[in-house]
Amino acid sequence: MSVRSRIGVGLVGFGTVGTGVARGLLQRSRILRHSAGSRIVLRRVCDQDFRRSRGLRLPAGLATTDPAKILRDPDIQIVVELIGGIEPAKTFIKEALRRGKHVVTANKALLAEASQELFTEARKANVELGFEASVGGGIPILKALREGLLANHLDAILGIVNGTSNYILTQMREKSLSFHEALLEAKRHGYAERNPTLDISGTDAAHKLVILTLLGFGRQVRLSDIHIEGISALSNADIEYADELGYCIKPLAIAKEVDHELEVRVHPTLLAKSHLLANVDGVYNGIYVHGDLVGAQLFYGRGAGQNPTASAVLSDIADIARRLAQGAVRTFRIGYPNQRILRLRRMDAIESRYYMRFQVIDKPGVLARIAGVLGRHHISIASVHQKERRFARVVPVVMMTHDAKEANVRRALAAIDRMGVVKSHTVAIRTEAPRVK
Ligand SMILES: NC(=O)c1ccc[n+]([C@@H]2O[C@H](COP(=O)([O-])OP(=O)(O)OC[C@H]3O[C@@H](n4cnc5c(N)ncnc54)[C@H](OP(=O)(O)O)[C@@H]3O)[C@@H](O)[C@H]2O)c1
């Protein structure tokens, strides 16, 4: 591998993140050079349309609409893909890798779907694929998992990794907005895309969980292995009742080892207000990691946005440039496969304490009937809270359970929801407690 003192970068996708990366490469050359030990030069920027103003003037001759100008340029060693989506990003990255170029991307959707394919190409070509910006925006969580925590056996990664969902739930709690009002607010502030489906459905968080599981547990899980629930069904009532009981509701991506099995799931979760993640509010991300040597750690920061995401992309570029300057390319290795994990745990088999809200007719004996059904399904009740009795005919009854099996909870709630005195679909939200080891 030749040792280089000048590294050429080609950028495809001059959008939100691409503009931040171009600005960083043009305006932070000294700090990058200090870290990389070589000059990093932005040689080309490709986008399909340059008419839109980005608030950044590119030096003459850099802009192109032809990606081949990047792929075929022998003076470009690092290609940065910031188009997003599956195609043409995938074809473009594979072509760059095949041509012996190192690639940096923030494309979590693509990595969740095709990481093995891309790693194989990178390995064959003996080049690097950097993707720090794909999880947690500006938080260097992947570097922490790959380097800082490498001697640990991890048993839990719990992440608030979607800022849009977290912002919406925070607004619902702090301002008593409905889900739809909070979503509009997120759009107004530019925290939600015009089509926010990937964010609020939990899919974006699941993309990131695939990547976290790969690095933290050395396991390649598919998106279809992950149980995914979004936040759109949450009501203000549940957020309020949870608050009264000492909890907050957070959109959590969970990968954890339980009895030699790995659980991977994304869903709104009740966290005690004392949990390290409980104060991760607004658009912020927080990733809680538990390792056998370090214990609990929390990584916190801005999980998206032009500058935070560009910060992670620039760090990958500088890392690769440094290794190129030293002639020491490092091809990707997944995290050390946790030997204790034998298989993925089926969702039916997970155990959790549950928050349950029943909407029932207010008459004697109803609680006893519900408790009876729960008992027959091996679910024991930790506490019962009856709300707003006054003169309403239908009242909410909130229960916290002790640890119960998901399959039992589903069966019990199906039976309870068939009872004539239960007037709407019962809400059940899982809880997560901190690891105490
Ligand atoms: N935004 C964030 O905060 C953030 C955070 C973490 C990760 N990411 C990831 O970073 C990537 C980029 O996100 P972004 O928010 O910067 O997206 P964006 O603002 O939509 O930028 C994408 C840019 O690529 C251009 N483009 C699309 N197809 C192209 C093609 N075939 N050839 C050349 N240019 C093309 C787009 O042009 P048009 O506008 O004309 O389509 C747009 O200018 C995505 O993978 C995203 O998931 C983003």
Dig out the tokens for 168 from the structure. 């919406």
Residue 257 near ligand 1, beta carbon < 6 Å? no
Residue 137 near ligand 1, beta carbon < 6 Å? yes
3-state helix vs strand vs coil in the chain, percent to 5: 40, 25, 35
Residue 107 near ligand 1, beta carbon < 6 Å? yes
Give the pLDDT mean for 273-301. 97
Q: Which atom of ligand 1 is nearest to the CA of 13?
A: 24
Helix (H/G/I), strand (E/B), else coil: 291 = strand
**What is the C-alpha separation between 213 and 157, in angstroms, rounded?**
8
Give the pLDDT mean for 169-174. 97
Instruction: Supply the pLDDT for residue 326.
Output: 84
Give the residue, out of 69, 79, 82, 141, with the most ligand 1 atoms within 8 A of its beta carbon, to mutate for a pocket test. Answer: 82
Contact of 211 with 130, CB cutoff 8 Å: no
Q: What is the largest CA-CA distance in the chain?
A: 82
Closest residue by CA, ligand 1 atom 39? 15
Percent residues over pLDDT 90 in the chain: 90
**What is the C-alpha separation between 250 and 239, in angstroms, rounded?**
10
Would you say how long the chain is, in residues? Answer: 437
- pLDDT for 117 beyond 50: yes
- pLDDT for 354 beyond 80: yes
Burial code (b: 16+ CB inside 10 Å, e: under 16) for 348-376 equals eebbbbbbbbbbbebeeebbeebeebbee
- pLDDT for 113 beyond 70: yes
Dig out the tokens for 135 from the structure. 């999880």
Residue 46 near ligand 1, beta carbon < 6 Å? yes
Instruction: Supply the pLDDT for residue 336.
Output: 74
Q: Which atom of ligand 1 is nearest to the CA of 305?
A: 3
Dig out the tokens for 316 from the structure. 């990958």
Comparing 303 with 331, which gets the higher pLDDT? 303
- pLDDT for 1 beyond 50: no
Comparing 342 with 351, which gets the higher pLDDT? 351
**What is the C-alpha separation between 11 and 103, in angstroms, rounded?**
10
Dihedral sign from CA coordinates of 93, 94, 95, 98? positive
Closest residue by CA, ligand 1 atom 9? 106
Distance 56 CA to ligand 1 centre (A): 16
pLDDT in tens, 265-278: 999 999 999 999 99
Residue partners of 296: CB distance under 8 A and separation at least 6: 276, 288, 289, 290, 434, 435
Q: Which atom of ligand 1 is nearest to the CA of 137?
A: 6
Residue 305 near ligand 1, beta carbon < 6 Å? yes
Distance 183 CA to ligand 1 centre (A): 22
- pLDDT for 437 beyond 70: no
Location of structure tokens 């936040």: 231
- The string of DSSP letters for 228-260 reads E--STT--HHHHHHHHHTTEEEEEEEEEEEETT
Distance 47 CA to ligand 1 centre (A): 9
Distance 335 CA to ligand 1 centre (A): 28
Tell me the pLDDT band of 137, cut-offs 50, 70 and 90.
very high
- Supply the mean pLDDT for the chain: 94
Instruction: Supply the pLDDT for residue 393.
Output: 87
- pLDDT for 260 beyond 90: yes
- pLDDT for 4 beyond 90: no
Closest residue by CA, ligand 1 atom 8? 106
Tell me: cis bond preceding 88? Omega within 30 of 0 counts: yes
- pLDDT for 2 beyond 60: no
Give the pLDDT mean for 147-174. 96
Contact of 354 with 402, CB cutoff 8 Å: no
Residue partners of 413: CB distance under 8 A and separation at least 6: 356, 426, 428
CA angle 318-90-166, nearest 5°? 70
Contact of 435 with 296, CB cutoff 8 Å: yes
Give the pLDDT mean for 347-368. 95
- pLDDT for 353 beyond 90: yes
Instruction: Supply the pLDDT for residue 347.
Output: 97
Percent residues over pLDDT 70 in the chain: 97
Q: Which atom of ligand 1 is nearest to the CA of 46?
A: 33
**What is the C-alpha separation between 274 and 277, in angstroms, rounded?**
8
Whether 90 is a known active-site residue: answer: no
Residue partners of 62: CB distance under 8 A and separation at least 6: 42, 43, 44, 45
- Determine which one of 208, 250, 363, 387 is catalytic: 208
Instruction: Supply the pLDDT for residue 339.
Output: 79
- pLDDT for 387 beyond 80: no
Helix (H/G/I), strand (E/B), else coil: 206 = helix
- pLDDT for 435 beyond 70: no
Give the pLDDT mean for 319-342. 82
Give the pLDDT mean for 143-150. 95
pLDDT in tens, 44-102: 999 999 999 999 999 999 999 999 999 999 999 999 999 999 999 999 999 999 999 99
